[in-house]
Chain A
């Protein structure tokens, strides 16, 4: 069988911002994960049945980095897992970011919001090695930032927006993108963040003819394609303004996504 569940050792699991933790996992096949993929975490708590899908922040030879938000009972339990202990994790899941699609573009802009920021870090590294594009990160947070230094290390430019103005631009990432001197017109966009942000960004990018890939988050059941709990509605990438329901299809975010082109997602369903 090509997929399976393996045991990883937690090397570290520490808080890097309010309700945000960074977990380093050590296991043989960690480097198989591609940018934009996620892994299912099989929790130790027997009463919490379903796996927790967490996006991959970085993957190297034998080591995987997850940066996750504490949003419910499962991630709250994860936050207490001690370094040195063993955790069951699934094989990397889903179709991640398409890196080669950005080849030929002079600049790529990565737009992250909150807990959607982490998967863009691994993407930034891949873009730097696999394309000639300059890579710009535009990262939005409520207040406290995280991973900003890692982005500054691997990106050509890193811009921060905070909703309370405590750091960088005072406002959200879309307002920042619309600042006159950012000129994203000829860029290629990749994004991960809250649905509202992705929807607004998709409109903005569509209006300017900027290609956009988005990574969607969803409440999943199995996390491997069997249960059809985590669907989104997708239309043809070529045809704009799809209205008829027959022209759209349901896609499973776990295996058909989580990354889709912004202009194929039907946002208002």
Chain B
């Protein structure tokens, strides 16, 4: 049996105790935190937040498909003020409650059975605030508002297929992607991740534009634009007609895009798209990701993020990978 792997990673100047986070839109601290201890994760990425509250799209907002699901939630959120007042303090409190007396913390890198639980000086779970907007000024306003908060990193969503203005249009045009990235870059000192859409001909072009405009990292992929039709009712299944496809069905596309992007940019990549197991996560690191996000898997099974973290550690231990860097260079 090999030694316990070192799960920590360095990303955008911040130490993550492990490379697993939640994918935006699939994590609600109050609800997810009832099912698993999210303070075990390297970071939590919260649901997209806009300057003012957004109501989202009409229902039905969700439809299952073979091995995947379509959503058209439309970034419903209570707005940045409510996020700062309620979500961030809740997450902080949740994480701090799990500190041991004396400020030590239950060691984050334990197996799923907790048999080797101990204390260690692992860094706290980071908070990644996902920000959304309909125009450049709105993205900038949200980023600015988050400056004096406990959000550790910002993830700028320029890839949501479910809103009419902004969102996806910024992510499919290299010039617009650069413009909005530069504007947010100027508004925040926090590490900036730009979340990319797969609904483009060449994702590397957009990734490079984001990098050149000052992004510290890119995350990919967001959902693939798709639709379903209820043949018996003769109408689209989603009220929004189209939606974003996620889940295991999209993993090969996500993996290919992470692989291509890793060879096109020099900034780290947070990989996501259909990760269901620890071994799936390992594939993303081999493709070039520095961290991974678990999204749809957490809707399918609420404990998926920490389950996948445990599985990844087991996979690394039983296959002789000493750290994430070893996984990242495994393809040669």
| A residues at B contact (CB < 8 Å) | 1-5, 42, 46-51, 73-74, 90, 218-222, 224-232, 245, 250, 255, 269
Given A4-B35, A5-B301, do A226 and B27 touch, yes or no (CB 8 Å)? Answer: yes
Chain B nearest CB, measured from A151 CB (Å) = 31
Q: Taking the nearest CB of chain A, how far is it from the CB of B74, in angstroms?
A: 9
- The answer, among B32, B55, B69, for a CB contact under 8 Å with A49, is B69
Please state if B34 and A50 are interface contacts (CB–CB under 8 Å).
no
Given A226-B31, A250-B76, A5–B302 Cβ distance below 8 Å?
A: yes
Q: A221-B62, A231-B59, A269-B58 are in contact. Are A226 and B300 (CB under 8 A)?
A: no
Task: Identify B26's interface contact among A227, A231, A232, CB under 8 A.
Answer: A227
Hey, which bits of chain B sit against chain A, CB under 8 A? Answer: 25-28, 30-32, 34-37, 47, 55-56, 58-64, 66-69, 71, 73, 76, 247-248, 296, 298-303
Give the chain B neighbours of A219 by CB distance below 8 A. 59-63
- Judging by beta carbons under 8 Å apart, are A226 and B64 in contact? no
Chain A-chain B contacts (Cβ-Cβ < 8 Å), number: 101
Contacts of B34 in A (CB 8 A): 1-3, 224
Q: Do the beta carbons of A221 and B71 come within 8 Å of each other?
A: yes
Distance between Cα atoms of A42 and B303 in the complex (Å)? 13
Measured CB to CB, the nearest residue on chain B to A255 is B31
Known: A49-B64, A269-B58. A224 touches B73 (CB 8 A): no
The distance in angstroms between the C-alpha atoms of A5 and B66, with both chains bound, is 23
Which residues of A sit under 8 angstroms from B60, Cβ to Cβ? Answer: 219, 229
Q: Which residue of A lies closest to B62 (CB)?
A: A229
Contact B31 A224 (CB under 8 A): yes
Partner of A230, one of B35, B59, B68, B247: B59
| A221 close to B69 (CB less than 8 A) | yes
Instruction: From the candidates B56, B69, B76, name the one contacting A50 in the complex (CB within 8 A).
Output: B69
The chain B residue with its CB closest to the CB of A231 is: B59
Contact assessment for A49 and B62 in the assembled complex, using a CB-CB cutoff below 8 Å: no
In the bound complex, what is the Cα–Cα distance between A15 and B36 (angstroms)? Answer: 36
Q: Other CB < 8 Å A-B pairs besides A90-B302, A231-B59, 4 of them? A: A219-B60, A226-B26, A226-B27, A227-B25
Would you give the shortest CB distance from A152 to chain B, in whole angstroms?
A: 35
A168 to B115, CA, bound (A): 61
| Complex CA–CA separation, A136 to B258 (angstroms) | 61
| Structural contact, A228 and B302, CB atoms closer than 8 A | no
23 contacts between A and B (CB under 8 A): A1-B37, A3-B34, A5-B301, A49-B64, A49-B69, A49-B248, A49-B299, A50-B64, A50-B69, A51-B300, A219-B62, A219-B63, A222-B298, A222-B300, A222-B302, A224-B34, A225-B28, A226-B28, A226-B32, A229-B59, A230-B62, A231-B76, A250-B76
Shortest C-beta distance, B59 to chain A (Å), equals 6
Establish whether residues A231 and B61, one from each chain, have CB atoms under 8 Å apart when the complex forms: yes
Q: Which residues of the other chain, B, contact A230 by a CB distance below 8 angstroms?
A: 59, 61-62
B296 near A49 (CB under 8 angstroms)?
Answer: yes
A49 touches B300 (CB 8 A): yes
CB of B30 within 8 A of CB of A231, answer no
Considering the complex of A and B, which 9 residue pairs feature the smallest CB-CB distances, nearest first?
Answer: A225-B31, A229-B62, A222-B299, A3-B34, A226-B28, A221-B62, A229-B61, A219-B60, A49-B300
Q: How far apart are the CA atoms of A224 and B32 in the complex, in Å?
A: 8
